[in-house]
């Protein structure tokens, strides 16, 4: 069966008929609002499809990316139901034609981004109230960033996560934070922030992609659910560090990780803004190491002091590992009207 590309659908509303039709056709999709098109916030997708009132403005926002953009003009208003649905079918047929003629999936031998081969560990950082301050202190105390990937999970409203990503990116210029909406891979010196609005799924070779399903917990993201998911990660999760938090969410997940031999560390409750979460971990003797954020950073560096520390190029934050470009050269299909292919004007 042919691998289908990953489609990013930019839409104004929370529900998009076009996104539903594309998903029904068998594509994996990520619904993205225009506000999420800022650099550093965009998911990594193969093709962008625009379904917005202001098509030109959105197309301009996507002008600097390396993925094709499908933005057919003359979009009817959603209230014009028959005309809008007919427009959706035109988009779908154009998308199907273009993907059949011009998009080629990578083979298994080339399916892993080069950056993932350099990842020497994946660490989950989890918590709730006060976690962002604790993680800031933890990162600032690291003399260098080891070649590891971080997964950051904090109970926080979805609307506040973009600000969180911006703050994390200011802590250390060699650590790149990004909201894990769409498709991503674990990369060295990268921190994927777990979205509060949707669950994550973890594939082979370090692939991470978001689902349309909500977490369904009392607070989101649901850390227990996340930990159960990463318990099956291959290669295995290196460890989890439980920081400040005011709930017991994460306790069952920590037990599951501990049960498979994964390292579980906890912030010293006396140094936490909210001690409930790390205290619960310590009371069950799940934590193999405990300390202040600065002490945890020192212990963390001990794990990698004999390993090579990577220094990312200045333009790493602009890279989008996994964004597939159309194959150029002999045998490539001519561009389909309405599709902008980078490098072809």
Q: Do the domains 114-318 and 6-105+324-340 match in fold?
A: yes
First CA to last CA distance, the chain: 33
Nearest to 258 by CA among 289, 235, 279, 234: 289
114-318: CATH number: 3.40.50.180
The per-residue pLDDT for range 94-124, each reduced to its tens digit, is 887 776 654 544 333 334 455 566 788 899 9
β-bridge mates for residue 152, sequence order: 125, 193
Instruction: State how far the alpha carbon of 7 is from the alpha carbons of 43, 44, 64, 122, 215, in Å.
Output: 10, 9, 17, 27, 22
List, for the chain, all residue ranges whose pLDDT scores fall below the cut of 50.
Answer: 1-2, 102, 104-112, 307-345
Residue 48 token pair? 């962008």
* Total Cβ atoms within 10 A of residue 112: 17
Give helix 276-283 / helix 251-259 axis angle, nearest 10°: 40
Q: What's residue 81's pLDDT? A: 80
Chain Cα centroid distance, residue 281: 27
State the fold for domain 6-105+324-340: Rossmann fold (3.40.50)
* Residue spans per domain, the chain: 6-105+324-340, 114-318
Full-model pTM: 0.60
Q: What's residue 18's pLDDT? A: 84
What whole-number distance in Å separates Cα of residue 187 and Cα of residue 164? Answer: 20
Looking at the chain, how many residues does it have? 345
**150 three-class SS:** strand
What whole-number distance in Å separates Cα of residue 231 and Cα of residue 263? Answer: 11
């Amino acid at each position: 069966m042919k691998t289908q590309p990953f489609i990013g659908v930019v839409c104004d509303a929370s529900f998009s008929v076009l996104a539903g039709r594309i998903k029904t056709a068998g594509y994996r999709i990520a619904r993205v609002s225009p506000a999420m098109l800022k650099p550093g916030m965009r998911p990594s997708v193969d093709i962008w499809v625009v379904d917005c009132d202001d098509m030109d403005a959105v197309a301009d926002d996507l002008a600097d990316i390396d993925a094709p953009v499908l933005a057919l003009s003359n979009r009817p208003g959603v209230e014009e139901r028959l005309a809008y649905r007919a427009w959706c079918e035109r988009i779908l047929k154009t998308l199907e034609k273009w993907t059949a003629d011009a998009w080629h999936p990578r083979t298994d031998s080339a399916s892993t981004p080069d950056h993932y081969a350099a990842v020497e560990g994946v660490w989950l950082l989890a918590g709730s109230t006060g976690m962002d301050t604790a993680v800031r202190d933890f990162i600032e105390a690291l003399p260098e960033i080891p070649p590891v990937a971080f997964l950051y999970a904090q109970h926080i409203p979805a609307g506040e996560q973009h600000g969180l990503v911006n703050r994390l990116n200011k802590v250390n210029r060699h650590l790149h934070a990004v909201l894990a909406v769409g498709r991503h891979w674990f990369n060295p010196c990268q921190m994927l922030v777990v979205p509060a609005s949707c669950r994550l799924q973890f594939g082979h070779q370090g692939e991470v992609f978001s689902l349309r399903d909500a977490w369904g917990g009392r607070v989101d993201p649901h850390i227990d659910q996340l930990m159960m998911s990463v318990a099956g990660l291959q290669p295995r999760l290196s460890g989890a560090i439980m920081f400040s938090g005011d709930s017991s969410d994460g306790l069952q997940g920590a037990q599951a990780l501990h049960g498979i031999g994964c390292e579980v560390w906890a912030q010293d409750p006396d140094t936490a803004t909210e001690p409930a979460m790390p205290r619960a971990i310590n009371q069950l003797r799940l934590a193999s190491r405990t300390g202040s954020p600065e002490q945890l950073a020192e212990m963390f560096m001990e794990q990698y002091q004999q390993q090579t520390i990577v220094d990312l190029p200045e333009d790493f934050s602009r890279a989008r590992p996994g964004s597939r470009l159309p194959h150029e050269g002999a045998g490539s299909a001519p561009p389909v009207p309405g599709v902008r292919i980078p490098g072809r004007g």
